[in-house]
Amino acid sequence: MSPEADFDGPLPRSFYERPVRTVARQLLGCYLVHRRGRTIVGGRIVEVEAYGGPGDPGSHADRAPNGRARIMFGPAGIAYVYFTYGMHHCMNAVCGPEGRGSAVLLRALEPVWGIGLMRDGAPPNLGDRMLASGPGRICRALGIDRSLNGADLTASTVRILPGEGETRRIRSSVRIGLTTDDGRAWRYFVDSPSVSGSRRPGR
């Protein structure tokens, strides 16, 4: 697969206009890429988390379309990028019907393209497989920040390209690092050394 050849064939908006858990599972095996100048950096998605709208206590959109969560209410197929803990950016793909307030957090990639550029700012002892292991590392490695909040994933410099189909078994667990949650097993991942959290399936 060539990122240059496939950059103009990203996932269509209709892919994202479906229920959040369906989109989350089917993003596994697809490729997140970012064109940085003349270079495309990116990798294969191996871990995600689904977040619903009102009624999902783990979601930024639990209460209403206010503040930074407003963008989660649509339209589908745009990036929701936020800054957390005063140091990390995290990227989500907004999905579902407009007004639903759902999005998929991208948690881990297997690096494929632009690995040298991904190393900028990374700890020198961090192995290649771990360069995009975790939502903050994804954004650092690919150069994604809040300037891309609201970017169209079907037409901007950051896109998600179709994969060849994920053949590894998809597992699920509770979402990671939430202070408020109701135990939903909405984290999805495959067996990969780049996965950021436990590889043990949950309930």
What is the average per-residue pLDDT within 23-42?
95
What is the average per-residue pLDDT within 25-48?
96
- Output the pLDDT for position 84: 84
Assign domain 3-189 to its CATH architecture: Roll (3.10)
| Model confidence pLDDT, tens digit, residues 133-157 | 999 999 999 999 999 999 999 999 9
- Output the pLDDT for position 35: 95
Above 90 in pLDDT, residue 76? yes
Residue 115 phi, psi dihedral angles, 5° rounding: -60, -35
**Residue with token string 């959290």:** 197
Residue 110 phi, psi dihedral angles, 5° rounding: -90, 115
- Output the pLDDT for position 183: 85
Above 60 in pLDDT, residue 203? no
| Model confidence pLDDT, tens digit, residues 100-122 | 999 999 999 999 999 999 998 88
Whether residue 65 contacts residue 144, with contact meaning beta carbons closer than 8 Å, is answered with no
| Cα dihedral 177→180→182→183 (10° resolution) | 10
Per-residue DSSP letter, 22:
H
Closest CA to 182 of 53, 68, 56: 56
Whether residue 137 contacts residue 92, with contact meaning beta carbons closer than 8 Å, is answered with no
| Model confidence pLDDT, tens digit, residues 146-200 | 999 999 999 999 999 999 878 889 999 999 988 878 889 999 999 999 999 776 6
